[in-house]
Chain A
Amino acid sequence: MRHLLGTEGIDPADAVAILDTAAGLKQSLEGREVRKLPTLRGRTVITMFYENSTRTRVSFEIAGKWMSADVVNVSSSGSSVSKGESLRDTALTLAAAGADCVVVRHPASGAAHRLAGWLKDVGTSVVNAGDGMHEHPTQALLDAATLRERLAGGDATGQDLRDRRIAIVGDVLHSRVARSNVHLLTALGAHVTLVAPPTLLPTGVGAWPVTVSHDLDAELPSQDAVMLLRVQAERMHGGFFPSAREYSIAYGLNERRLGLLPEHAVVLHPGPMLRGMEIASSVADSPRAAITEQVRNGVHVRMAVLYHLLAHEEENA
């Protein structure tokens, strides 16, 4: 693997290998006083974030640092980007400055693909940290890691998510998290149900390998997990649904709905959460929710991704 641009078409064996690496890293680091591995010493990882992000940027930065890589963060404000430099020129500049890996978050769908194309001859790896409404592959991997861990209830090494049932609820239309999860979870053998009002589902969703539903109550009893998507403020005013109140009534995960889920079912949210809107505060803080575990696993999954892109190559060579 040279780049991680998306989970579409991912080889399930590769995905399981990343999850296994992440689980192994987690085990070896947990409880340690000095959380530092020498694996990526001398390698340079540059994060380029063209959108505001706290958790993803910090997660990648910590992942790189725990692997002893030199991590440099570039944001669009306070850099040559704010002077109007093109994405292509910025990428070529960072590659020329010695980046072994560029982690990119960009509002344009396909930005990471374009970057990989421009850096084709340079040898720099590209990790997509979220491109527009397209993909966010490390989020899907950390979601899968969290689900696998929770649902296995023990050592899950080598396992996929065969026959697990997962509902993804909310703004699928604009969500890169939803797209990456649909690809990855189905590749791992899970059955995915998308639950949303028709206005928040893309035209053409019928071609996706998923079940589509508009009735959350009807779906919950059969799910092993429910993943809530953030409803962005601009959607609330964009006429996609009549009001936040109506959305919350139809698609919000409240106490009553939590009771409809099977006992073992897990609640996920990629964050940041709108408490009281898509998820009730008590649900978010309940032991059924794995939201902080998602964040914790995010670091290990991103370490695993950097390892597979940067260190693994050398071992194979």
Chain B
Amino acid sequence: MNTLVLKGVRPYGEGPLSDVLIRDGVIAGITSHDPNTDPHTDPHTDPNTPDTVVDGNGAILLPGFVDLHTHLREPGREDTETIESGSTAAALGGYTAVFAMANTDPVTDNAVVVEHVARRGREVGLVDVHPVGAVTVGLRGEQLAELGTMARAGVRVFSDDGHCVHDPLIMRRALEYSKALDVVVAQHAEEPRLTAGAQAHEGANAARLGLQGWPAAAEEAVVARDCLLARQVGARLHVCHVSAAGTADVLEWAKARGTAVSAEVTPHHLLLTDDRLATYDPVNKVNPPLRTAADVERLRQALADGVVDCVATDHAPHAPQDKDTEWSAARPGMLGLQTALSVVVKTMVETGLLDWRGVARVLSERPAEIAGLPDHGRPIAVGEPANLTLVDPAATWVVRGADFASIAANTPFEGMELPARVVATVLRGRVTAAAGRIPA
């Protein structure tokens, strides 16, 4: 029997301090905090002493975070991230489950790669690694990948992320076919004809800087089309990394008429704008691109209102030679796993848009529901699986990309002071991260 006690914690940041007893990966008891019990008694002499004690010091206890959108780069670009380094970053960032995107090399468009990624995730064991399967063979958007075979290998989410399933007939078939498999298709919404050569949000900054524009309509149009298709065929749709205010309007309309659509927003689209492009530093290059302050404002409101369901990192490690280049040569993408919580606190909690229940909803409960994970994003209650994250809301820290567990260091938040830190992450009763380190 393995026991863990989280002492002096506040579930959802509410009520008095509690002590949470976890036995064999399940929450076994939640009691009023007793400051007098000595957490350091010897388990060998006292059978009631827990194996492990985490002193919460009043930290906020939340269900473990679930990231629907992570690029772990293995197989293919192990020089930028591996399943091990990415899992470490995830645990340190408070995540207990991540969905590893399919744009690996080889592409995760078959059960062999799916099983490889899942097995490596289990071997590392710091976070539940769920491979995302490609919707189409080679992410080429031409022919459906073997969704059924991959689903039987455990895939819950399919996406060609990085590429849009732009052919409306292929998308329709993917949505339709997915209905039999109890999986969800996640769309990278980007009409490719409207974004050929695009380098930046189409607007005043791109015009001034001479960067080819990525019009918001290229996202809005595909989301609108896919909502119509999902409704037509009675399937579920998930929209990746919503970046434009108009997309939130489309989602609001689609949800109001009962379409089974969910959507995610990234931390960087909640905080950063295309004003940052003036330096031409490609650390700010990402797809979809950073947009305007009005977009940021609308996305925050949409997340607060539930129009956008959850936060997903789109964690995208890149090597220095692929980032420290001229703008157009640089790969799009930013690290996100170890900054997501802090950015959500800064943009949503400090602004009063979300309370801690809301943070639990957007970082854990909704993404777990969308992906159909039965043991994540669960209530903090006796009998529930102990996938948990402990957060110090009062901490502040300065972002240093070089200090991250990721092999790559491409964070746009470099040098920023951010609020809130992960105190500990618990996966099925085991501490996977504590005080910024992976326990031995």
* Interface, chain A (partner B; CB < 8 A): 8, 86-88, 106-111, 113-114, 117, 131-135, 176, 179, 202-205, 207-208
Contacts and interface: CB of A to CB of B under 8 A. Distances in A.
Interface stretch (B205-213, B389-397, B402-410): B205-213
A133 B202 CA distance: 14
B333 to A, nearest CB: 18
Closest 8 CB pairs of A and B: A110-B280, A134-B210, A202-B207, A133-B210, A204-B204, A204-B207, A108-B326, A109-B210
A87 B212 contact: no
30 contacts: A86-B321, A86-B325, A87-B326, A88-B325, A108-B327, A108-B329, A109-B209, A109-B210, A109-B280, A109-B327, A110-B210, A110-B326, A113-B279, A114-B281, A117-B279, A117-B281, A131-B210, A132-B211, A132-B328, A133-B211, A134-B209, A135-B210, A179-B208, A179-B210, A202-B206, A203-B215, A204-B204, A204-B205, A204-B207, A204-B208
Contacts of A203: 202-203, 206-207, 213, 215
Interface in B196-251: 199, 202-213, 215
Contacts of B207: 202-205, 207-208
B204 A109 contact: no
Contacts of A108: 326-329
Contacts of A114: 280-281, 325-327
A177 to B, nearest CB: 11
Contacts of A117: 279, 281
Given A109-B199, A110-B280, A113-B279, A204 B206 contact: yes
Given A109-B210, A132-B328, 17 more contacts: A8-B208, A86-B325, A87-B326, A109-B327, A109-B328, A110-B210, A110-B327, A113-B279, A114-B326, A114-B327, A117-B279, A117-B281, A132-B210, A133-B210, A135-B210, A203-B213, A204-B202
Nearest to B200: A109
Nearest to B280: A110
Interface residues of B, number: 24
A153 B326 CA distance: 43
Contacts of A133: 210-212
B346 to A, nearest CB: 28
B324 interface: yes
A216 to B, nearest CB: 22
A94 to B, nearest CB: 15
Contacts of A110: 209-211, 280, 326-327
A207 B204 contact: yes
Contact of B325 (A87, A131, A205, A207): A87
Contacts of A207: 204, 207-208
Nearest to A87: B326
Interface in B251-281: 279-281
Contacts of B328: 107-109, 132
A205 B206 CA distance: 10
Nearest to B211: A109
Contacts of A205: 207
Contacts of A106: 326
Given A106-B326, A109-B327, A113-B280, A202 B321 contact: no
Contacts of B203: 203-204
Contacts of B211: 109-110, 132-134
Nearest to B321: A86
A113 to B, nearest CB: 5
A133 B206 CA distance: 10
Contacts of B326: 87, 106, 108, 110-111, 114
A132 B199 CA distance: 12
B282 to A, nearest CB: 9
Which of A111, A135, A204 has the most chain B CB within a 10 Å cutoff?
A204
A131 B205 CA distance: 16
B70 to A, nearest CB: 28
Interface in B323-350: 324-329
A131 B326 CA distance: 10
A88 B324 contact: yes
Contacts of A134: 209-211
A113 B215 CA distance: 25
A274 to B, nearest CB: 22
Contacts of B327: 108-111, 114
A316 to B, nearest CB: 27
Contacts of B324: 88
Contacts of A204: 202-208
Contacts of A113: 279-280
A179 B209 CA distance: 9
Residue from A86, A110, A131, A134 having most chain B Cβ neighbours under 10 A: A110
A15 B327 CA distance: 28
A106 B328 CA distance: 11
Nearest to A118: B324
A110 B208 CA distance: 11
B173 to A, nearest CB: 30
